Amino acid sequence: MSDLTQRPDLFLGGAWVPPHEPQSADVVEAGTGEVFGSVAMAGTGDVDDAVAAARAALAGPWGAMSSAERAALVGAFAAELKSRGRDTAALVSRENGMPISFSGIVNGLAPAAITGYYAKLGAVLDDAEDVRPSPTGGDTLVVRRPVGVVAAVTPWNYPQALAIMKIAPALAAGCTVVLKPPPETALDAHVLSDAAEAVGLPAGVLNVIPGGREAGAYLVEHPGVDKVAFTGSTGAGRAIGEVAGRLLRPVTLELGGKSVALVADDADLDLFSAKLLGVSMPNNGQTCHAATRILAPRSRYDEVVAAVTDTVAGFRVGDPLDKATQIGPVVSSAQRDRVLSYVELGRSEGRLTTGGGAPDRPGWFVEPTVFADVDNSARIAQEEIFGPVLVVTPYADEDEAIAIANDSDFGLGGVVWSADPDHGLALARRIHTGSVGVNHYELHINAPFGGVKASGLGRELGPEGLAPYLETTSIYRA
Ligand code: NAD
């Protein structure tokens, strides 16, 4: 097996090739602040080559296969990912600080499961052509085709799952892919290259070219690209959406969030506390759907603030590779500084109840932090912090809670805590968001995930996540 930490080449056209311009980036271990790897970075000439390889594969063997043949390869690709899962999980923990107990699930197991799911959906696509009778006689044959070459641009926080949520449906639909991962998590992206190579995906079906923002922008705008699938910040999403609009190029945008945890007056606070880490602070808070705005009824306000504070104060902060760790470091020194600047702001926008600093240790750690008495108009209640920081906001009655919940630019996740599931569901229905949980929050492979408002356009996962990679032609027959 290749050295997972040294990647001097790009993976394109089925081969490992050095970049045209010799460029590389150091990969820094979030838990230590030390360089632990190096990765080749793509420039514009490499993007050109990767897109050309993807176009050639589409016109060549991949495009000529039946959906069942392609699905068999996608299924084998899933098995390759699964066999590498343990190493991949550890690699990501070193790159972005994700606690290994969590990384084992989302980077180790989920990518293979998602890929296997889409292999099954894709296998029957050729048989899924449907004939629709016409009211005026004759019928219409609805033919589905792959949309073409997909540019997949991904962030560092859930690097494997977010890449696979694009690659797996794209390949199952018969598309080819150019993946542009960010430098912070470029090492784990090449596990996808290894798996593609091992399984014998035809050359150019999956191309992996790590790079910066410029390479991403060049790829998104490339004339050889047919569809863009992006996950990242709302700012970058707006820029990409503008390009896609000008080019009339289909685009999926999974963007930022600032989701609520609405604690109803009948909530079971033991359950709420037990699940707080996974729902409101997963991955050290570096999670787009984290429920970071906690809305507490005035009738139980002190009780809720105490539950949040005690629970967060008890989180075990430590080495992300230690199975007992609940909160690891954030991804980079720049991200730590950004989070700490919000913590400083929070001192004037709320009442600090726990945390509020950076532990004295190497690596990019931020203490898990809670601010109570935060008005929903405060910046720490409105802006995505993307670190281990929660805010608690009081509400008088449920109408006010719903108004506060929906008073946000974002709409990605959310959760309602109520001992009565029907009550919880009734509240969940009133939150304007792409996904919301009742007494838990967990993405499901077969249910669409995505945002409303500034959280994005389109959906991933489920059959809805396959649809953007297919286009239809209606053939009217007399
Ligand atoms: P980012 O937007 O800075 O970068 C994401 C990717 O886009 C990187 O590969 C980057 O190189 C590239 N990029 C940046 N600007 C670009 C441009 N103009 N054109 C083309 N490519 C460009 O985001 P990040 O800091 O890496 O990730 C964190 C953000 O991602 C957070 O806002 C988070 O909420 C969001 N996110 C959303 C979801 C979701 O499903 N909605 C999931 C995870 C993360």
Query: Rounded to an integer, what is the distance from CA 160 to the centroid of its chain?
Result: 9
Q: Which of 265, 152, 290 is nearest to 211 (CA)?
A: 152
The verdict on the CB of residue 328 being under 6 Å from ligand 1 is no
The pLDDT, as a whole number, for residue 247 is: 98
The answer to whether the CB of 221 falls within 8 A of the CB of 243 is yes
Q: Angle at the Cα of 329 (from 284 to 374), degrees rounded to 5?
A: 45
The pLDDT, as a whole number, for residue 344 is: 98
What is the position in ligand 1's atom list of the atom closest to the CA of 182? Answer: 9
Span from the CA of 87 to the centroid of ligand 1 (angstroms): 24
The pLDDT, as a whole number, for residue 2 is: 67
The pLDDT, as a whole number, for residue 239 is: 98
Span from the CA of 328 to the centroid of ligand 1 (angstroms): 21
14's torsion region: left (phi>0), alpha (psi -120 to 50) or beta? left
Any bridge partners for residue 132, and if so which?
140
Phi, psi for residue 318 in degrees, rounded to 5: 180, -165
Active site residue 288: yes
Residues 307-327 have pLDDT tens digits of 999 999 999 999 999 999 999
Give me 100's structure tokens: 């290994």
Give me 166's structure tokens: 């694009």
Q: In a 10 Å sphere around its CB, with 0-12 CB exposed, 13-18 middle and 19+ buried, how is residue 208 labelled?
A: buried
Any bridge partners for residue 452, and if so which?
411
Residue with tokens 């919301």: 436
Q: Which of 107, 116, 113 is nearest to 85 (CA)?
A: 107
Mutation pick for ligand 1 pocket among 231, 246, 453 (CB with most ligand atoms within 8 Å): 231
The pLDDT, as a whole number, for residue 446 is: 97
Span from the CA of 257 to the centroid of ligand 1 (angstroms): 12
The answer to whether the CB of 456 falls within 8 A of the CB of 472 is no
- CA-nearest residue for atom 43, ligand 1, is 288
User: What are the residue ranges in the chain where pLDDT is below 70?
Assistant: 1-2
Instruction: Tell me the angle at which helices 301-313 and 269-280 cross, rounded to the nearest 10 degrees.
Output: 50
The pLDDT, as a whole number, for residue 135 is: 87
Residue by residue, DSSP assigns 256-293 as ----EEEE-TT--HHHHHHHHHHHHSGGGG--TT---E
Q: Tell me the torsion sign for CA atoms 397, 402, 406, 408.
A: positive
Residue with tokens 């996950």: 231
Residues 123-135 have pLDDT tens digits of 999 887 799 998 8
What is d(CA 206, CA 15) in angstroms, rounded to the nearest whole number?
11
Tell me which DSSP letter residue 138 carries: S
The pLDDT, as a whole number, for residue 317 is: 98
Q: Which one from 29, 80, 254, 460 is the annotated catalytic residue?
A: 254
Tell me which DSSP letter residue 396 carries: S
467 contact partners, CB below 8 Å, separation of at least 6: none
User: Can you give the pTM of this predicted structure?
Assistant: 0.97
Give me 393's structure tokens: 């906001």
Residue with tokens 């896609």: 244
Q: Which one from 197, 288, 384, 460 is the annotated catalytic residue?
A: 288
The pLDDT, as a whole number, for residue 127 is: 86
What is d(CA 108, CA 87) in angstroms, rounded to the nearest whole number?
8
Span from the CA of 42 to the centroid of ligand 1 (angstroms): 17
The verdict on the CB of residue 215 being under 6 Å from ligand 1 is no
Give me 364's structure tokens: 């990019």
Give me 176's structure tokens: 């080819």
Tell me which DSSP letter residue 65 carries: S
139 contact partners, CB below 8 Å, separation of at least 6: 131, 132, 133, 477
